[in-house]
Structure 1
Amino acid sequence: MTTVVVIGDVGGCSAELARVLEPLIGAPDTVVVQVGDLVDRGPDTPGALRIVAERMAEGSPRWVQLLGNHEAPYVGGEPFWPEPLSEPDARLLERWWLTERLRVAAAVRTGGGEDFLITHAGCRRRCGGIWVGR
């Protein structure tokens, strides 16, 4: 049976993210959905990005990274916060977006057969400054 773990806004707090993920190491039937706002405000945005990049590369636990409004400026959305990411970190977000590793929403089916649509903060045609759908 698949376990779905949903992690809210991380906001650059890499130590807290690592602590939340520690019990999930080696859990093959676990899908982690991080709902966006991985970056900004906290003390270590580069560290948070590194942790997620490592999890995506490992594939276990499976990782779904959603787009939050703090990532949106790096994939075509409108900038709104004053401290930009470093060029390598901005390129990483852009690469995730272009390869569909960074998504607007995720459809998840639980082990009990329930279906959920997970988003950052709701979803409209214009989500995070980016047009979604047609």
Structure 2
Amino acid sequence: MRILIRRLQEIDAYRGLIPIEKAVAALGEEFARNSRMYLGEHGHMLTFPIGKGMTMNVVAFRTKADGKWEYERWVLPMNKEDMFNDFEGWGESVQKILSLMDKTDVWPLFDHPPASTYYSGNLAMLGDAAHASTPH
């Protein structure tokens, strides 16, 4: 069964992990071991250390033109060629980071009207459950 969902905001998120030593070798200590945001046309990339500083987490957001997700699964493996095409023309650091991502998944981000509140009485939604808007 294929699922076709029209998104109000057409964003795909490429997600990957890089061993910190590989990131340090390619980017240097400052860029690899600290949180960064790279901004570009129709997207942005976040990098930050996780796992007690042993791994660089990468999430690269790219706005899509057609707004369709025509897949049965919600997370898909993505080949590097598609990912590089989506970030063609971005800076040297972004290209290095993408080249280090061995296993990359792509996740669709769906927009929705914001909730009027994230609490009721003594109950409150926190963290990922209470994301106010796409993509953060």
- TM range, normalised to the smaller chain? under 0.3
Structure whose residues are more often helix by fraction = 1
Structure whose residues are more often strand by fraction = 2
Larger C-alpha radius of gyration, 1 or 2?
2
What is the TM-score normalised by the length of structure 1?
0.27
Q: Which has the higher contact order (CA 8 A, sep 6+)?
A: 2
